[in-house]
Structure 1
Amino acid sequence: SAIPKSTADSDKYCQSDSCPDSRLKNVGCGCTAATYGPQCKDRNARKTNLDGRLKTFLLDKHNTARSLLACGSVKPHPAAAKMIELNWNDELELLADCNTMKCVYGHDPCRSTGEFPFAGQNIASKLVCGKTPLGVEQMIADSVDVWFQEHRNTTPSMTDSFPQGKVPGGPIGHFTLLVNDMVERIGCSYITYQEQQQRGKKRTCQRHYLVCNYSYSNFVGEKTYTKSRQHPAEQCYFRSSKHSCLCSSSKSSGSNSK
């Protein structure tokens, strides 16, 4: 759950060096993540507490996707030499809360932390009308799947050097962030709030909104991941005990790949 930060803690996000680009405002500036924003008023906004089970579910969805690519199972994309198994980060989660608690869908300009100045972000939303509710796990699974399906728009040359501007086949940014091997940590936030359906007959629907922050981002000209020459995970110091094609991020767990 979101822990209200002290004023001093919130102030650190308001410093001119709190974002790599000093013209941008950090989403954490002035945020306590304990109160809903003005756009949430009268909309029955509810932030889901991401407990241990849901965090594990989010991590599993991400790591399974990363593992598929790392193993070489996503043709024509080559296997990965050192794709890291992701772990959770509370500060990235807190800054994701600062986004969702505004009840406004959209990327925030900057979510840098002291540890992760170049933090990236994937977002997803779904409007649900009618009687059938949408479960949190279903929304998470659907969202990560939609992000991952962008591998169809992505070519190996694009993951060798991230392209500038839009590419002809459709978006690639969600997929490439999902499988970026510089990313080691994620933190996410999930909220629901009421929204009026604009098309057809007007009715009140439920907006589901997921924000995931990543410890690194896509940069033009950078490779998304290091491709293996002989076999997956060949450059891992330790292998993940759960996903054989991923590296363990901790040197104290997993099995040595040597």
Structure 2
Amino acid sequence: AYIAGIHAKRCNMEHDACHATERFPVSGQNLYMWRGGVKPKIKSNELVKSIDIWWSEYKFVEDGNALVDEFCNGADFHKVGHFTAIANERAAFVGCGLALCQNCTNRAYCIEVTCNYSLTNLVGSPMYKTGVSSATECDYYESVPSTNYPNLCENNGKIFDN
């Protein structure tokens, strides 16, 4: 979250090359910016709004099965890239930051949201491992069936290989 917060304070709505770390060398990044003429009183709702907008890209996925098995298989990355960054099972960690900025292009104020993911979408790699039924393939990377979400697996914090 610290690195994402530093990036958001740049207020330029441009991806950077600095979000990769030694622990997460193939990290991903989603960006969002709100612009307005009046200084907002609460800015944290922009984080929720940005995630909702990114997630809504699922509507542009034409063949979900193909995309799950192999990222970018027939999908337009520019239409679904934010959604797939969130949905990728191997993105086990996420850190987000937001900043209120002034003197933004065409508006007096803007809020930039930056979220960095421990793994980005890798062309040709699966988005997640599928099973014959829900939570039947929870046997890798020390995952187990989730106690809170019966159709999902839960990871103990072990980092996935890139």
2:129 is the alignment partner of 1:226: yes
TM-score normalised by structure 1 residue count: 0.52
Distance 1:196 1:189, change over 3 A: closer
Deviation for aligned residue 1:238 = 2.5
Cα distance in 2 between the residues matched to 1:153 and 1:134: 33
SS at match of 1:209: strand
Contact 2:43/2:100 (<8 A) preserved:
no
How many residues get paired?
151
User: Aligned letter for 2:13?
Assistant: Y
Deviation for aligned residue 1:250 = 2.2
SS at match of 1:174: helix
Cα distance in 1 between the residues matched to 2:110 and 2:81: 23
Cα deviations by residue, 1:142-192 (Å, 9 ceiling, x for unpaired) = 111111111111121123222279729x61100001010111111111101
SS at match of 2:112: strand
Cα distance in 1 between the residues matched to 2:71 and 2:37: 38
- Between structures 1 and 2, the one with greater strand share: 2
Q: What is aligned with 1:120?
A: 28
Contiguous gaps of at least 5 residues in structure 1: 1-92, 199-203, 252-258
Cα distance in 1 between the residues matched to 2:45 and 2:86: 18
TM-score normalised by structure 2 residue count: 0.80
Cα distance in 1 between the residues matched to 2:44 and 2:52: 12
Percent identical: 27
Q: Greater Rg, structure 1 or structure 2?
A: 1
User: Looking at both structures, which has the greater relative contact order when contacts are Cα pairs under 8 Å and sequence separation is at least 6?
Assistant: 2
